Each structure stands twice: as structure tokens, then as C-alpha cells.
Amino acid sequence: MREETRTVPVQALLAEVARLKAEGWRLVTLTASELDAERLDLLYHFDRELRLQHLRVAVAKREAAPSISPVFFSAALVENEIQDLFGVRFAGLLLDFGGGLYREPESPAAPFCRCGGPPQETPPAEGGGQTPGGEGCATR
């Protein structure tokens, strides 16, 4: 990464985002990418006067990550997208589609997870909740 990237613990995330907002940093977006079967890498991109800065947070797929939508409402849409595609949960999401922004009830559970699906909170629909992806991480 060419720009400043800081790794922050999950607990400190909300305070850090609020501080950046007070300093005039605009939230550009969030990026999720899978680290392994257990963890997800969340990147928060901020912009001020055409300069970028990133915050990196590693979250466990099983635990709900804190939503930053109370600070930046614009994060609500992208957090919903990550919920849909990676199967994590965001706690305190202001506009929560509950994993149904893109997906229908019969859609695969976490279509962008390659290293095995997320924990199934609700019992899978008839036909069995398949593990999406299926290639596994070992091949990558």
C-alpha cells in the first residue's frame, strides 16, 4: 500500500473513526478480504484533500464487528454488502438488511468466502446449506 495504513484493534475502531471524522477525513469505503477460514481483513479507506489513509482491522467471522454507521451513515450500505457477501455481522448497523441486500433466502450463504462458509445462525433451508466456494484455501 502506497498510503499510510494503520492496524487498529477492533475495540478501538469506533473511537479512531470518530477521531478521523473530526479531523475532516471522509469515509471513502470499506474493503473486506478473506485472510483464512476464521478471520476477515477489513480495510477502512479515508480521504482528505485527495490524500488517502487506511485503517486495517482483523475481525473474526464468528463475532460481530462493530458498525461504524453511527459515525458515518454512508458506511451502512457497504457494511450490508459485506454482510451479504462474506457472512459476517455488523453490530449496531443503522440500516440493517440482515444479509438480504443482494441475496434472496435461497442464495448461497456467503458467496465471496472461499475458505469455508460462515457459522450458520439460522438452520439452513431445505436442500441443505452447502458450503460455498468449495475450493478451499490450500489451493490458493
Element (H, E) at 127: none
Which one, 13 or 80, has the nearer CB to another protein? 80
Q: Please list every residue from 81 through 140 that binds another protein, using CB under 8 A.
A: 84, 95, 100-104, 111-112, 114, 135, 140
What does the alpha-carbon distance between residue 73 and residue 78 come to, in Å, rounded to a whole number? 10
> Shortest Cβ distance from residue 117 to another protein (Å)?
14
Which one, 10 or 28, has the nearer CB to another protein? 28
Of 101, 122, 115, which is closest to residue 41 (Cα–Cα)?
Answer: 115
The single residue among 10, 14, 18, 28 that binds another protein, judged by CB under 8 A, is 28
What does the alpha-carbon distance between residue 45 and residue 51 come to, in Å, rounded to a whole number? 10
Q: Which stretch binds another protein (CB under 8 A): 10-18, 58-66, 76-84, 122-130?
A: 76-84
Which one, 11 or 140, has the nearer CB to another protein? 140
Q: Are strands 4-7 and 51-60 parallel, antiparallel or unpaired?
A: parallel
Which one, 11 or 49, has the nearer CB to another protein? 49
Q: What are phi and psi of 12, to 5 degrees?
A: -90, 0
Give the distance from CA 114 to its chain's centroid: 15
**Lookup: cell for 108:** 448461497
Residues that bind another protein (CB under 8 A): 1-3, 26-29, 31-34, 43, 45, 50, 52, 54, 72-74, 76-78, 84, 95, 100-104, 111-112, 114, 135, 140
